Amino acid sequence: MTVLAEGSYASPTGQEIVFVLLGVVTLAAAVLVVTTRRLVHAALWLVVAFGALAGCYLVMSAELVAWVQVLIYVGAVVVLLLFGIMLTRAPIGPSTDLDGANRPAAVVVAVALAGVLVTVIVDGFRTAYVPSARASSGAGSAETIGAALFRDWVLPFEALSVLLLAALIGAIVLSRREIGPAETDARRGGGEGEG
Amino acid sequence: MSTHVLAAEDLSGFGTDPWWLIVIKVLFIFVFLVLSVLLTMWAERRILGRMQLRLGPNRHGPFGLLQGLADGLKLGVKEDLVPKNVDKWVYILAPAAASAPAFISFAIMPFGPQVSIFGHQTHLQLTDLPVAVLLVLAMASMGVYGFVLAGWASGSPFALLGGLRSSAQVISYEIAMALTFVAVFLYAGTLSTSGIVDAQERLWFAVVLIPSFLIYMVTMVGETNRIPFDLPEGEGELVGGYHTEYSSMKFAMFFLAEYVNMSTVCGLSVTLFLGGWRAPAPISTIWPDANTGWWPMLWFIAKFAMVMFIFIWLRAAMPRVRYDQLMKLGWKVLIPVSIVWIIVVATMRALRNAEATTTTWLVVVGAGLAAALVALYLWDRAAEKRREAKETAKEQEFATLKAKPTAGGFPVPPLRAAHYGSAVRDALEAPRPERGTSAKEVTGA
Amino acid sequence: MDISERTVGVGAGAAQTGDAVSAKDMATEDMVLNIGPQHPSTHGVLRLRLRLDGEQIVSAEPIVGYMHRGAEKLFEVRDYRQIVVLANRHDWLSAFANELGVVLAVERMLGMEVPERATWARTLLAELNRVLNHLMFLGSYPLEMGAITPIFYAFTEREYLQAVMEEVSGGRMHYMFNRVGGLKEELPAGWTGRARATVAEVRHGMVRVEEIIHGNEIFRARTRGVGVLTREQILQYGVSGPIARASGVDFDLRRDEPYLAYGELGDVLRVVTRTEGDCHARFSCLLDQVAVSLNLADACLDRLEALPPGPINQRLPKVLKAPEGHVYQWTENPLGLNGYFLVSRGEKTPWRMKLRSASFNNVQVLKELLPGNLVADMIAILGSMFFVVGDIDK
C-alpha cells in the first residue's frame, strides 16, 4: 500500500467529491430499500444502491470490479430477486404487511454491523491518504486482480466456490419433484395417458 | 505470466481527446445507431418482401427508404394510453431502462484505426477500457430491467409472463454468450476491443475459434429476442409479450431498443470474431492501404450489414421454438459446449506458453482424442441398449394387444363399423391391409 | 414427452383470477385462462377456457356459438335455390363443397340425372376448392409457429387458383356455381387449358411450400409427438377428414362411398393416411392431399376435354319442389365429413335441414387432446385441428 504524504482531506479533489456523493446515494438508496412499502420498488432501490457502489469502484479506478458489480449484482442478482417476487406475489401499490416483528432486532444488528465495519476502516487507515490508483499503473485492471485472486487469495476464493456449490446443490434438492409424495406424478401421468 | 503472448495493452491513445471531438463522436454514434435502426427496418421489410414474393414498402421516398421514418412519426402522434392499474413510475421508467443501455454499449465499438480529425490524431472509437467487453455485457444485463419491469408494471398476466420469459431468456443466453467471449479473451490476451481487433490482424477469430463463433451466432439471436427465439412476442401464447400494454412513444422506445440491441450484437460479432474494421483478406493483400485512413469504416459497416442480413434471413426462414426447447438449448447444449471448448483453448494456450515439446503436444492431443473416443463409444453403447429396450417393449405390447385387443383396459369400439360405407363391409373378414401412406385399392360402391 | 416444468407460485396476474394463495401448497393453485373469443391464437371467435397448472393445461373446454347464425333455421324459409347461397357460407374456405352437398341432396330427392359434363366439372371444381382450402391452412399453421414466409408462398399459389375459379364462377370465395341439376353456366372457352396450366403451376409451387417448412428442424421439434390423437378418440368423437386420416383412420367418402365422378377416378385417387396422429402427421396429410387433389384435377380436365359437347345443367321448373321424404347426403369436404339431412314435406322449402359440419366434431376432441400439454403446445395443436369457426358455429 503506497501511502503518500502529499494531498489531504482538507482540500478535496473532484474525484473525492464524486466519491462522497455516490456514497450518500448508496446509503440513501439502501435506507429506502428497507423503508419503502412497495415490494418491487424496494428491489429497484437496491439496484440504485448497487449501481452507486459500482460508481464508487469506478472512481477508485477499479474498473473490473465496477463492471463485474454491475454485471453480477445489478444484472443478475436483483433480476433473480425480482423473478422471485413476481412469481410469488408482487402487488402493484403499497403492501401493508411488510414490517415484521423482528424490525427492532434487525435495526440493532444492522447498526452494530455498520459500527464494526466503520470502526475497522477508520482504525486501519486513520488519516492516511491514498491517491487515485489511475496514476499508479492500473491497480484495478483485470491482470492485477486476477493475479491477486489466484495467487494471494486463492484459498478464500476456493472456499467461496465450495459455498456456492453447496448452495447450488441445496437449490436442486429443494426443487426436486420426486422427493414429495408420489400422487402429483400420478396425476401428471394420468393426464397424458388418457388425454 | 509470460508476457510475450499477451498483446501489450496500449490504451494511451484513448482519453486524450478534446471535448469537441468527444461531442462529435457521441453524436456520430447516436446518428449511426438511429440511422442503422431506420435502415435495418427498411432493409428487413424489403428483403423479407423479396423472400416472400412481394414488394415490401416502396412508397415513401426513393425505394421506400423513408418508411421507417414514417412509422416512427405515426407512433409518435398516436395516443399514449396508460392503463388504469399500472405502477406509473415503473411503467414510464421501463422503456427508458430498455433503450438507454442499448445505446451505451456502442461507446467501445471500434470503427477504425487512428485518423486525423481537424488535425487531431484520434481513434475512430469513443473510448476504450481495459475491460471494454465487460461493459457491453453489463449493459446487456441492464437492458433486462426494461423487459421485466415493463411486464410487471403493466398489471396484465400476459405482459408479466412475457416479461419474465424474455428476461429469463436474455439472462440465460447471456451466460453462453459471455462464455464464448472467454475463448476470445484467452487468444487476444486482452478485454479491450481495440486490442482484440489488433490481435486479429493475421487471422480472424471466427476462423481460429469457430465453435465460439457459431455459439455466439446462436446466442446473439437469443439475446435479442429474434426469430427463432422470439418467444416473448409469441403472439398466440402471450399476445405481444412485455410490451402488450404500451403504445405510442413508449412502444417506439422498446422497438428502438430491440433494433439497437441487434446493432450492438452485430457490431460485437464483427469486432470480436470477424476482424473488426480490418479489410477482408483478398482486399488487404492486393491493396495495402485498405486498412488506413477512413476506409476501415467501410469494411466495418459492410461486415455489420452482412451479420444483420443473417438476422433478417433467419426471420424469413424459421418458425419459433418452444420455450422449454429454447431453455434446453441454452443450458444443456450451448453452455456445456462452450465450457468444454474453453478448456480445450486454455489447454492449448497453456501448452504454447510453456513452450511444450512436440511429444507433449502429441501426448495431450492424443489423450484428449482417446478420451473423446471412449466417451463416444460408451454413449453409443448406452443409446443402442436404450433403443433395443424400447423395441422389445413395443413388440411385447403389440403381442399382448394382438392376443387380446382389450388388454389395455380401454373399451375398443368396432373399428370398421358397417355404417362407414358399403365398400368396407366386404373387408371386414379380409386381413387388414398394411396401413401407411400407400395407396389403397378402390372398389367403388 | 420428457417435459418437466414447475410452478413456483401463482404470480400477480393469477392473483386477479382466483382467491388468495392457499397456505399449504402454492403450486397447486390453478389459473383460469381464456383463449378467445378475441385472442391472437384463435382463428375467429372460438373460445377456449383453459385451467392451467403453471404452464400445463389441466382441463380445456371449447366454448362455441359466438358466431351462430342459425343457418339451419334459415334453411327452412328459403327455397332450394336460395339455400345454396346460405349453405356455402358456413365453411367459407370450402364454399364449393358446401354447395355441392345441398344440390346433391335435392337431386337425390328429385331422382334427377345430372349431365355428365356437369358431374366432371363439379368434381374438378371441388378438387380445386380442396386445394384452395388446404393451401390456406398450409400457410396459416406455420404462421402460428412463427414462420412468416410459408403463408406468402401458399397465398401466391392460392391467387393463381382463385383466378381460375373467378373466371369460371365470378366469385373468389362464395362461388355460387352449383345449381340443382348441374352448374350455373357453361365453362368459358379455353378455360380448361388455363386451368391445366394453373394446376401445373401450383404443383410446381407446392415444392416451395414443402421445402421451406416441412423438413424444418424447429417445426419438427414443435409438432412431432405433440397432440397425438388415437383411433379410438377419433371414432368416438366423430372426427373426420385429414385429421382422422393422420391417425390412421383410413376413411374417405370419395373412395368409400363415391359420389360425383370419384368412382371412375379410382386409379388417381390416393387416400393419404398417416399413423402417428400428431400435429406433424396432420400437416403432412394436408400437404400430400394437395398433391392428390392436383392429380385428380388433371384427370378431370382430361375427361372434360374428351367429353362430347352437351348441356351442363338441367332446365328447372319455376317453382322447384322436392317430393315428400328425407335424404342424408354427405360429402368429403376439405375439412372432413359434411352432411345435409334434408326432410321435405313436398313444399318448395325444406321442412328441416340438418347440417353436420366437419369442424364442429373436430373441435370437440380438443377437450380430450389438450389436457396434459403445455400452453405453448396448445398453439401447435389448435392450429393443427384445421377448423373454420363458421363451420363450428353454423
**C379 vs B: CB within 8 A:** yes
Predicted local distance difference test score (pLDDT) of residue C294: 93
ipTM reported for the complex, 2 dp: 0.78
User: Do B160 and B196 fall within a single domain?
Assistant: yes
Predicted local distance difference test score (pLDDT) of residue B337: 92
Q: Establish, for the pair of chains A and B, how many residue pairs have beta carbons separated by less than 8 Å.
A: 77
In three-state form (DSSP H/G/I as H, E/B as E, the rest C), the secondary structure along B76-95 is: HCCCCCCCCCCCHHHHHHHH
What distance in Å separates residue A91's CA from the closest CA in chain C?
A: 6
For the four alpha carbons of C85, C86, C92 and C97, in that order, the dihedral sign comes to negative
pLDDT at residue A183 greater than cutoff 50: no
Total of domains in chain C: 2
Structural domain containing residue A172: 153-195
User: Do C104 and C187 fall within a single domain?
Assistant: yes
| B351 domain residue, yes or no | yes
* Average pLDDT estimate for C11-18: 42
Which of C11, C21, C372 is facing A191, going by the closest CB pair? C372
Total of domains in chain A: 2
Structural domain containing residue C39: 11-63
CB B45: neighbour CB atoms within 10 A?
19
Contact partners, residue C256, CB within 8 Å, separation at least 6: B420, B421, B422, B423, B424
Predicted local distance difference test score (pLDDT) of residue C269: 87
Total of domains in chain B: 2
| B29 domain residue, yes or no | no
- pLDDT band with cut points at 50, 70 and 90 for residue C371: confident
User: Do C22 and C160 fall within a single domain?
Assistant: no
- Which ranges of chain B have pLDDT less than 50? 1-8, 417-425, 427-428, 433, 435-445
Residue C56 backbone dihedrals phi, psi, to 5 degrees: -95, 140
- pLDDT band with cut points at 50, 70 and 90 for residue C128: very high
Question: Which residues of chain B are within 8 Å of residue A63 when distances are taken between CB atoms?
Answer: 129-131
Instruction: Identify the residue with better confidence: A7 or C276.
Output: C276
Of C99, C121, C167, the C-alpha closest to C333 is C99
| Helix%, strand%, coil% for chain C, nearest 5 | 50, 10, 40
User: Do B279 and B376 fall within a single domain?
Assistant: no
| C2 domain residue, yes or no | no
| A143 domain residue, yes or no | no
Which of C11, C368, C372 is facing A87, going by the closest CB pair? C11
Which residues of A make CB contacts under 8 Å with C? 84, 86-92, 175, 177, 188, 191-192, 194-195
* Average pLDDT estimate for C194-205: 92
Distance of CA C284 to the CA centre of its chain: 15
Element (H, E) at C325: strand C325-333
Predicted local distance difference test score (pLDDT) of residue B234: 61
DSSP helix/strand/coil, B62: helix
DSSP string for residues in B324-368? HHHHHIIIIIIHHHHHHHHHHHHHHHHHHHTT--HHHHHHHHHHH
Residues C75 and A165: their CA atoms lie apart, in Å, by 73
* Average pLDDT estimate for C189-199: 91
User: Do B305 and B381 fall within a single domain?
Assistant: no
Predicted local distance difference test score (pLDDT) of residue C58: 85
Question: Which residues of chain B are within 8 Å of residue A44 when distances are taken between CB atoms?
Answer: 90, 149
Q: Which of residues 42-61 of C touch A (CB under 8 A)?
A: 56, 58
| C-alpha cell of residue C42 | 384463435
| C-alpha cell of residue C1 | 414427452
- pLDDT band with cut points at 50, 70 and 90 for residue A120: very high
pLDDT at residue A143 greater than cutoff 80: no
Structural domain containing residue B286: 81-355
User: Do B144 and B172 fall within a single domain?
Assistant: yes
User: Do B285 and B364 fall within a single domain?
Assistant: no
What distance in Å separates residue A183's CA from the closest CA in chain B?
A: 21
pLDDT at residue A111 greater than cutoff 70: yes
Q: Establish, for the pair of chains B and C, how many residue pairs have beta carbons separated by less than 8 Å.
A: 145
User: Do A93 and A167 fall within a single domain?
Assistant: no
**A43 vs B: CB within 8 A:** no
Whether residues B319 and C41 touch (CB distance < 8 A) is answered with no
Highest mean pLDDT of the ranges A130-139, C5-14, C166-175:
C166-175
pLDDT at residue A11 greater than cutoff 80: no
For the four alpha carbons of A12, A15, A16 and A22, in that order, the dihedral sign comes to positive
Contact partners, residue C309, CB within 8 Å, separation at least 6: none
Whether residues A88 and C370 touch (CB distance < 8 A) is answered with no
What distance in Å separates residue A96's CA from the closest CA in chain C?
A: 16
